[in-house]
Amino acid sequence: MSADPGPTYDEELRCVAMGHRVIAGVDEAGRGPLAGPVVAAAVVFADADAAASNPLLNDSKKLTPRQRERIYDHILDAALSVGVARVEPDEIDRINILQATLAAMARAVDELDASPDCVLVDGSQSPARHFPDPKPHIEPIVKGDGRCLSIAAASVIAKVTRDRLMVEYDAQYPVYGFAGHKGYPAQSHRDAIAEHGPCPIHRRSFRGVREHCE
């Protein structure tokens, strides 16, 4: 079995060949947790050399926390522009997690200093409805965080940003253990919700939380 080649700049170059000039990769972190925001990031690299300047850059799920922290800092230095946005639990409960994720992606693009004319999004769903007109060219790429360097970079930025937020929330709500599980449905987290009830950052529409809401 051949080794995983990791993400490349091929998708971005394909978009350049189509006539696009500024290509953003977009990904999110935090769809599955019971607590905390969903965070999205958008990353624009000036060229292939900048995108490939860190050989460890990969899908954030394939990196250790220490690697993600180091690569996070490298991305901020190497990228032409980075945008980050979050959707909080109350909005997630109001519009559902899918729409919240897509909205966060569109908002992350809006936070970029460089306005992209092409947006490559991890996954199979397009956030187009959340973009104002005129919309950029938007392409969902299934498993894009493992194929496309710009999306991989966005996955690292989103993951590190969200993990840091959950560590901050751990200090505010220590009984839930957010620093360890980052809000995901670990058994210790479920047990804490059952014992203490949900706190203000819990997603009250999610199974595992809503049963304990008054």
Complete domains list, the chain, with CATH: 10-169 (3.30.420.10)
Contact 6, 146 (CB under 8 A): yes
DSSP 117-175: SEEEEESS---GGGSPSSPPEEEEETTGGGTBHHHHHHHHHHHHHHHHHHHHHHHHSGG
Sheet holding 137-141, edge to edge: 81-87, 38-44, 23-29, 118-122, 137-141
Q: What span, in angstroms and rounded, lies between the C-alpha atoms of 103 and 85?
A: 9
Q: CA angle, 96 as apex, 94 and 100 as ends, to 5°?
A: 95
What pLDDT score was predicted for residue 214? Answer: 75
Q: Give the relative orientation of helices 10-17 and 149-172 as an angle to the nearest 10 degrees.
A: 120
What would the pLDDT profile of 120-178 be if each residue is shown by its tens digit? 999 999 999 999 999 999 999 999 999 999 999 999 999 999 999 999 999 999 999 99
| Per-position pLDDT tens, the chain of length 214 | 445 679 999 999 999 999 999 999 999 999 999 999 999 999 999 999 999 999 999 999 999 999 999 999 999 999 999 999 999 999 999 999 999 999 999 999 999 999 999 999 999 999 999 999 999 999 999 999 999 999 999 999 999 999 999 999 999 999 999 999 999 999 999 999 999 999 999 999 999 999 999 7
Query: What backbone phi and psi angles, to 5 degrees, belong to 95?
Result: -115, -5
What pLDDT score was predicted for residue 1? Answer: 42
What pLDDT score was predicted for residue 3? Answer: 58
Structure tokens belonging to residue 73 = 């800092």
pTM of the entire predicted model: 0.96
CA distances from 106 to 17, 45, 195 (A): 24, 18, 37
| Residue in this structure with the two tokens 């995901």, named with its chain if needed | 184
